[in-house]
Structure 1
Amino acid sequence: MSTVEPGTPCWADLATPDLADAKRFYPQLFGWTGRVSPEPEAGGYTVFLKGGRAVAGAGPPATPDQVPIWSTYVATDDADLAATRVEAAGGQVVVAPFDVLDQGRMAVLADPAGAVFSVWQPMAMRGAELFNVPGAMCWNELVSPDPEGAKEFYALVFGWQPEDQQVGSITYTGWRCGARVVAGMMPPLAELPADLPAYWSVYFSVEDADATAARAAELGGTILVPPRDNPAGRTAALRDPQGALFSITALS
């Protein structure tokens, strides 16, 4: 199993009130199979597999009023220290660090603009076993109305260094962690609802963005931002039938 470096997005999972429908929608969209955790306390948590390798997860919401959401997990050597750094940098500890059976230790955190993310200190489960191929996570992106505040915050929490570039009319930020750019940031798109708070978006690689977006709509999802070309490839923003936002990219 691959090991993901600290400071690098390593996993994504879906919190949804309708786990049964998620296990219908995503396998039909991405060709995933599901492996349900046998432990009763896992609440039916399902690991999605692509070609037998773990690519993402899905489970019930942490609280009854939680909106359906895809969460980005960033690898860390010390979840407790990461939570302490988040508070010191002006963020919020949404769920304090806790052990997930023997799999790892995690915490749910939020940056000062309200974007929620998680950290994962691996034990038995290291994270995703497949990246950057169709059906696997290929990118994680912060959409924030306060990019300058985010630059300060994530530098303090993960040591990320921002690298700005102009893409059309927007300033796009790459987050560098050591030798690699591991994630990105952009301001909110005009097409998205104006009342959306800052959020982390999870991107999955696909072979054909147009066909996948159309298939998502056929399966009961919604196309929020139709497929468009950008320097990384052809991307679209979608919602699943319960309203969870995610994105797809046909990598160029």
Structure 2
Amino acid sequence: MARRPVVRPVEEDEAPDGPPCPSCGTPNLPGRRFCRRCATPLQAREESAPLPWWRTVWPFRRRVRVRSGRALRRVLLILAVVGLLFVGFLFLPAGRVLFEDVRDKLGDTAEISPSGVSASGAAPGHPAGAAVDGLTNKYWGAPALGASLTCTFGTPFRLVGVVLHTGASTEPEEFRQEPRPVRADLIVTTEDGTVHKKELTLNDKPGEQTVRTGISDVVSVQLVLREAAGQRRGRPIALGEIEFFKRT
């Protein structure tokens, strides 16, 4: 025979003093997770913050976990942006000039001899070749102001600087005996035909004088004399030596 059902007392209904259900409005006790009438979730999920723009681009749009390479991807992204900015900067003329100037200051230099030298005029016994023979006791004698000395090079190179020795000698007594240039124009021509002109103001004293240039693909250098000190009638203007230095 079947067992008779046991009648149990009915529990009192929950007090309707809790927050109402957002769906049906039924009050619920605090702490309930679902509505006692319609089972609607009472605890709303917190909405996650929107992703940054770089997280929407592959491969960063993938969901990441703790210690899953997020820091590495950020570093790679920063390096990529910096690399693109650096490459773009180099394509600008000012960027290339700055980059080459830094290389000139950090690199070494070496003297380079011209493959040919000529002058618009020279005094007897003082040819143009005396200015590039490596000796300061011999000099090129320019007959007058406006005379020019031209040096050509067989292979284009990066001209870092020019060293000049004015006067007939490095000895002070002999230096003052002959006229010497104190102002000149340095005209540099590159392989593509571009001409760079620089006005030089030279010291009226014996010894070397360095002029920084920083010009690439140089094929010829011309020095035009504009002003001289101690100039006397019938005496040539003395240029003891001119030296050229390239970047190595």
| Same-fold status (TM-score > 0.5) | no
Q: Which has the larger radius of gyration?
A: 2
TM superposition score category, shorter chain reference: under 0.3
Structure with bigger strand share is 1
Q: TM-score, normalised by structure 2?
A: 0.21
